[in-house]
Amino acid sequence: MDWINFKKPQRYLGNEHNVIKKSYFPGQVRICLCFPDLYELGMSNVGMKIIYGQLNSFEGIYCERVFMPDEDLYLYLTEKKKKLFSLETKTPLCDFEILGFNFGYELNFTNFLAMLSSGGVELRALERKDTIVLGGGIANPEGLAEFVDVFFLGEFEVQAEKFAEIIKRYKDKEERLRALAEIDGFYIPKFYDVYIKGNRFVFEKKYKHAKLPIRKVFVKDLDNSFFPVNWLTPHTAIVHDRAQIEIARGCPNECSFCQARCLYFPYRERGVERVLDLAKGVYKSSGYENLSLLSLSASNYSNIEKLVEEITAYFKDKCVGVSLPSLRIEDVVGRLYKSLRRIKKVSATFAVEAATETLRERINKKIDLNKLFEAARVLKSLNSRHIKLYFMFGLPYEEDSDLLAIGDFLRTLKAESRLKINLSINAFIPKPFSSFEDVDMESAQKLLKKKELILSNIPRDRDVKLSISNIRKSILEAVTSYADRSFSKVIYRAFCLGARFDSYDERFNYSVWREAFKQSGTSMEDYLQRKKDNFSFSHIEMK
Amino acid sequence: MDNERFLLKVKLQKHQQMKFFSQLDLVRVLGRALRRTDLPIYFTKGFNPHVKLSFGDALKLGQEGIVDITFYFTAKIPVDEFKDKLIPQLPRGLSIVEIGEK
Ligand code: SF4
């Protein structure tokens, strides 16, 4: 390959620090972890690093990686009839026994098909003789049922060892699938009949050892679960360019719109000592100049004061930036104020979601806006110049006055603090397993009106940087999140018509999707309105 | 207050895959490589301290060749110790050609 002709060739070289190289021997099981988005995003994903490290820790298994190639390489491979390859050994995807995809984001599904196709792998599960496509990180897998042999629901660390044993013991695809079907967390769509009767989805087992309902699995003891201390460290910039140490999983808060708290239920913490050990180990192995303490809500971490104090003390002389995303406002101005001053990067990102107290109460978002004004002043004194705020629109119970309040709020904040504001306003997308899973997504028409109303009151100011949802894209995400098995054909059509990188505003092509729905004899609206008494994913239990 | 600084001037050969990594990438790669050693790193002062390095002229992306880089330490480092500790941390495609003290 003449890499100089491609954008950011660093993405495809596979020469990161701590990359795992193993030599091949007959009988070795070869797995490739596949991330259906660009390198810069995929390499920021902690889950992928955990699985990569853990699978490679087993004898007899070699696990490699591949990311969605950017358009230039993708088109080059297609045109030259070359196959998409793994980073480590440059092996075409079709030569792996197992391809493990991350399905954390619904708008990456056409990229998933593009990667299979580019890698010389048949798209439909039933067409593949030997290769097993495994998918994880997904709440509702039904829309992909036609393409994926086996889904994993929950946290893979728990069953990684059993998985490794099974794929080493059985060599035949069918035998492997049958053995996996008996283990919690694995879901093999073809072992179930799913059909609609009356106004309900009915789920029936076709293979007697398959599980019903299907339960997700989760790590019970975070202190003793696998963590990739030999941190894979890229030589080029990625989106979250820092080492990440998970301090907790799940979230004890109960915001009604939130899916993450359900996917990662229950709330679990890693002990301060263990976090410190991991942070030191990861720093030693990576030399990363930035470290992030990861959780959905750091403020809920029981020993947050002690943790912050000890970690800042350890890293201060080493000039390592420690960041704590997901802190609540009260803590930034309150109990953590002193320690935070010692961390050079105070991450000032606040998910306000709704601009009025009434609406926040109805979505169960507990946040005190007065504290935010106070926080903004403190941030200024901490030398932070930016604050990032998240809002939603299209929420249930929402009135026009709630939307106008976003602009009013910004004006007050500006007057009080003079911080630069990065503002992200997103359409509310109902999600499976959240408390709002029953709520309907608003129509495109209404959402467009609301978007205009919000924008009409946002101060035009160069200190306010705004990004706001593309409505059609958000609706596609909603449809995909609730998909049933019939939706596979729509994704397939969209892929054939050239849809890729749907999560990127500038690459998302609504007309392609509209055509894909049309060719499948349906429409986005039709999918949105399809209401049943239960869901296409009611055979899955997340709690 | 400025600490005393000890410099090592290094000629670094950029070849094979590393020729695709920009000067900015090199800052990252060398900073992290140094941090993985226990060498007494000299950090820049100011609000956002980082590993101090200075670079001579950059090579074009995709071009193999030599880059001049100055490393800074807070104590005098024998050339051999520097080599012994840094070389194992460098990615393939970066190699030390010459070191001069100053
Ligand atoms: S939105 Fe954040 S704080 Fe609320 S439940 Fe979800 S993760 Fe927790």
Between CA A264 and CA A354 the distance in angstroms is 24
Residue A540 Cα to ligand 1 midpoint, Å, equals 22
Averaged pLDDT, A502-509: 96
Q: What's the rounded Cα separation, in Å, for the pair A105 and A503? A: 9
Distance CA A133, CA A409 (A): 48
CB atoms near residue A525 (< 10 Å): 13
Cα dist. A401→A355, A406, A443, A453, A498 in Å?
Answer: 9, 9, 19, 10, 41
Tell me, yes or no, if A199 comes closer than 8 A to chain B by beta carbon. Answer: no
Among chain A residues, the shortest Cα distance to B93 is held by A15
pLDDT surpassing 90 at residue A418: no
Distance, CA A301 to ligand 1 centroid (Å)? 13
The confidence band for B13, taking pLDDT boundaries of 50, 70 and 90, is very high
Q: Give pLDDT, residue A301.
A: 94
Q: How far is the CA of A44 from the centre of ligand 1 (A)?
A: 21
Reported ipTM:
0.95
Choosing among A10, A229, A235, which should be mutated to test the B contact, i.e. which has the most B CBs within 10 A?
A235
DSSP lists the bridge partners of residue B55 as: B69
What are the domain boundaries of chain B? 6-101
* Chain B: residue whose CA lies nearest to A342: B47
Cβ separation of A13 and B20 shorter than 8 Å? yes
Separation CA A26–CA A21 (nearest Å)? 16
Give DSSP secondary structure letters for A307-357.
HHHHHHHHHTTTT-EEE-TT--HHHHHTTTHHHHTTSS----EEEEE-SSH
> What is the per-residue burial (b if ≥16 Cβ within 10 Å, else e) of A189-211?
bbbbebeeeeeebebeeeeeebb
A375 half-sphere exposure, CB direction, 13 A CA radius: 26
pLDDT, residue A195, reads: 96
> Strand runs (DSSP E) across B1-102, as ranges?
6-14, 53-55, 65-73, 94-101
Q: What is the pLDDT, as a whole number, of residue B102?
A: 56
pLDDT band at A488 (very low <50, low <70, confident <90, very high): very high
Q: How confident is the model at residue A1 (pLDDT cuts 50, 70, 90)?
A: confident
pLDDT tens digits, residue range A329-340? 778 777 877 777
As a CATH number, domain B6-101 is 3.30.70.580
Q: What are phi and psi of A51, to 5 degrees?
A: -65, -40
pLDDT tens digits, one per residue of A38-57: 999 999 999 999 999 999 99
The nearest alpha carbon in chain A to B39 belongs to: A318
β-strand partners of B53: B71
Nearest atom (ligand 1) to Cα of A257: 1
For residue B46, list chain A residues with Cβ-Cβ distance below 8 A: none
**Are the beta carbons of A319 and B50 separated by less than 8 Å?**
yes
Res B1: pLDDT? 46
Per residue in A347-390, pLDDT tens? 678 899 999 999 999 999 988 888 888 877 777 776 667 888 99
pLDDT of A376 reads 79
**Contact residues on chain A for B33, CB-CB shorter than 8 A:** 287
The answer to whether A143 and A480 are in contact (CB under 8 A) is: yes
Q: Percentage of chain A with pLDDT > 70?
A: 98
Mean pLDDT, residues A256-281 taken together: 97
